[in-house]
Structure 1
Amino acid sequence: MTAAIRCVLFDFDGVLADYDRDVRIGHLAHFLGRPSHAVRAAIYASGVEDAADAGLLDADAYLEALGRELDCTVPADAWVDARRAATHEKPPMLSLASKLRARGITVAMLSNNGLLMAQSWPAIVPALFPLFSGRAFCSAQLGAAKPSPAAYLRCLEALAMPPPATLFVDDNPANVAGARAAGLVGHCFAGITELQRALEEHGLA
């Protein structure tokens, strides 16, 4: 018999919020007085972002590493402002998550991100809090990133939730496959209508 779903674990970017990488890069480039291509390379081509997502760099070390790549100081507030400018919550998804919570379902969030993001959630997406307070996880906090099964299992350990009772929702098929390998129920997000249909199949809508 299939276990009853008691937890819905959401991805962040692309599921609970829209995220525009180009806006983030442009915003930070303008603040730092550096060309956008240099900021893009510093974040995504240097390995700095991947190291932060894996928990190998704390928030200060991450900003220092970006600064070395760009030959300037990268203030935390400038980074947060750029991330906030590029991130917009999806009100219908937040409404859905709120309804699940009101029904007694645990709602949580798992994102491949570094410790600076983990520290800055409420400043970047205040609309998600307090709904996800204490249940918003970044891969850096777990020492493993999606799609590694360890990322999901460590997250669920913190939530005291068994994998078969957890529905994981992500727009990246590889991440959904990783969740299923860890024993979770997976749903590849393609829009709220399909998600609502999946929730209905589990008696959650």
Structure 2
Amino acid sequence: MSAPALVLFDLDGVLAHYDHAPRLRVLAERTGTSERAVSAALFESGLEQEADLGLHDAQDHAEELAKRLGAPVAIADLVAARAAAMTANAGVLAMAKQVARKARVAILTNNNLLLRDNLAAICPPLFPLFEQRVFCSAQFRLGKPDPKVFLLCLEALGTPPEACFFIDDKPENPEGARAAGLSAHHYLNDTLLRAELFQRGLLEEQPDAP
């Protein structure tokens, strides 16, 4: 098994832990509204899904939420809320840094342009490792597991599918990647991922047995 030239990581659930509650709390505090109102305006109204599919850039995202919420919302509010909801997964990030000695690394996430453009402020430990290599569904107007989104991302990275290894915590997304010609891993825990990366020649140290 030859080592891939590129390893493509999912964000939430792989490189970072995500907790929905702090995001709602921070937005409610910063807009002077309630968590229930924020949830209705951002999620139940479909705004978050629209943004993830590229229908709103960062400024429009904030303005549209303000309209649906009935309260002022700034980009800084959305960034602060997302930052409160995310923490880097130290174990996977350490592996990514080791992998980067042998292959290029990049991120492909089902997310919006606001997150892509502000990820360094939202989750600083991921940088500079992933600088200029954060890709999201919004820029392609397609989401995982659609095989086309993988091909568009790899086109932007100048890498053929057979040279890429993809990692995601949702089982349907590795399936979509394989349909596009990539090799892929369904992330369940650090131990299994470490073993997989070692087998693919991306880590130098033999992992401990599960």
Match of 1:174 among 172, 196, 199: 172
Residue 32 of structure 2 is aligned to residue 8 of structure 1: no
**2:184 aligned counterpart, secondary structure:** strand
Partner of 1:17: 16
**1:102 aligned counterpart, secondary structure:** coil
Deviations, residues 42-71 of structure 1 (Å, cap 9, x unaligned): 111111111111111111111111111100
Partner of 1:46: 45
Gaps of 5+ in 2: 204-210
Residue 167 of structure 2 is aligned to residue 162 of structure 1: no
Residues 3 and 165 in structure 1, CA contact (< 8 A), matched pair in contact too: no
Q: How does 1:58-73 map to 2 (within 5 A)?
A: 58-73=57-72
Q: Distance in 2 between matches of 1:98 and 1:203?
A: 14
Q: Distance in 2 between matches of 1:101 and 1:34?
A: 43
Match of 1:111 among 109, 112, 137: 109
Shift of 1:152: 0.8
Partner of 1:121: 119
Q: Distance in 1 between matches of 2:184 and 2:42?
A: 30
Residues 166 and 182 in structure 2, CA contact (< 8 A), matched pair in contact too: yes
Q: Distance in 2 between matches of 1:132 and 1:142?
A: 19
| TM-score normalized by the length of structure 1 | 0.95
Partner of 2:88: 89
**How many corresponding residue pairs?**
203
Gaps of 5+ in 1: none
Q: Distance in 2 between matches of 1:88 and 1:7?
A: 24
Residues 153 and 163 in structure 1, CA contact (< 8 A), matched pair in contact too: yes
Which one-letter code corresponds to 1:187 in the other structure? H
Deviations, residues 80-135 of structure 1 (Å, cap 9, x unaligned): 111111110012211111111112x0111011111111110111111111100111
Segments of 4+ in structure 1 off by > 6 A? none
Which one-letter code corresponds to 2:163 in the other structure? A
Residues 33 and 71 in structure 2, CA contact (< 8 A), matched pair in contact too: no
Shift of 1:201: 2.2
Which one-letter code corresponds to 1:43 in the other structure? L
